[in-house]
Amino acid sequence: MMIDPLPDDFFARATVEVARDLLGKFLIRRRAAQLIIGRIVESEAYLGSDDPAAHAVAGRTKRTQALFEEPGKAYIFRLHGHYCLNVVTETVGNPSGVLIRALEPIRGIEFMRQQRGESITDDHLLTNGPGKLCQALDISMAHYGVDLTDATSPLYLAQGEPYAFETVATPRIGITKAQDRLWRFVIKNNPFVTRTRSF
C-alpha cells in the first residue's frame, strides 16, 4: 500500500494544491531489486503563467520540454552543476510543476550515504536540498520525462504511510522574482527541511 503510485489525477490539479499535498508522500527510486525511499518534507510550486520565477517564462525549449507534457512526468534541470527534480502538474501545454526540495530518508539510507560521499556523517544532510536529494537517490537526466505515476518506472511517487504533521507556507528559496508568493511548503518542525537562506 505504501508503495502504490499516486494516480494521474493527483497531479492534474492546481499546482499550489499539488505542492502542498505532496508533503508526506513518498518519492521512490527503483534500482534493480532495491527500493530507495524518502518522505517529501519540502516542496515549491512553479506556475505556467503569471509566475516570473518559473522556467516556463522561457517558453518551450529543449530544457523545458517536459514541463509541457502530461502531468505526473518528471521535469529535471541542471543548475550550478546539480540536478533538481520537479513533477509536472495542471494540464498538457500548461508548463507548471512542483519542485521537490527535501526528503526525510525512509529506506536505503546506506545507498544514500554512498551516493552523497562518505564524508557526510550527519544523516540530516543527505537529502535536505533539491540537488542533494537527486545525488542521494541517483537521479539524473536519465530520468528526464519519466512517468512518476508508474510503479515500473525507475522513479515514482507514492501515497506513503500515514503521518501526522502541520504544513507551513513560506516564500520560495533562491529566486529573485515573485518573492511575495507563499508557494514553498514545509512540514513544520521536520529536521530534514533545508536551512532558509538570507538575501
Partner DNA sequence: CGATGGATGAACT
Partner DNA sequence: GTTCATCCATCGT
- Please report whether residue 44 would count as binding DNA according to CB under 7 A: yes
Total of chain residues touching DNA, rule CB under 7 A = 39
Rule CB under 7 A: choose which of 28, 37, 54, 103 binds DNA: 54
Q: Identify the residue among 39, 143, 172, 181 touching DNA (CB under 7 A).
A: 172
| Residue span 127-146 as binding mask against DNA, x where in contact by CB under 7 A, dash where not | --xxxxx-------------
Nearer to DNA, 59 or 162 (CB): 59
Distance CA 158, CA 42 (A): 16
- The piece of 6-14, 19-27, 105-113, 167-175 that touches DNA (CB under 7 A) is 167-175
- The reply to whether 125 sits near DNA by the rule CB under 7 A is yes
Site string for DNA, 81-100 (x = CB under 7 A): xx-x-x----------x-x-
Q: How far is CA 88 from CA 3, 9, 30, 47, 151, in A?
A: 20, 12, 20, 10, 17
One-letter amino acid of 144? Y
In whole angstroms, the minimum distance from the beta carbon of 21 to DNA comes to 17
Interface segment toward DNA; rule CB under 7 A; list 24-32, 105-113, 125-133, 157-165? 125-133
Return the number of the residue (64 or 149) whose C-beta is nearest DNA: 64
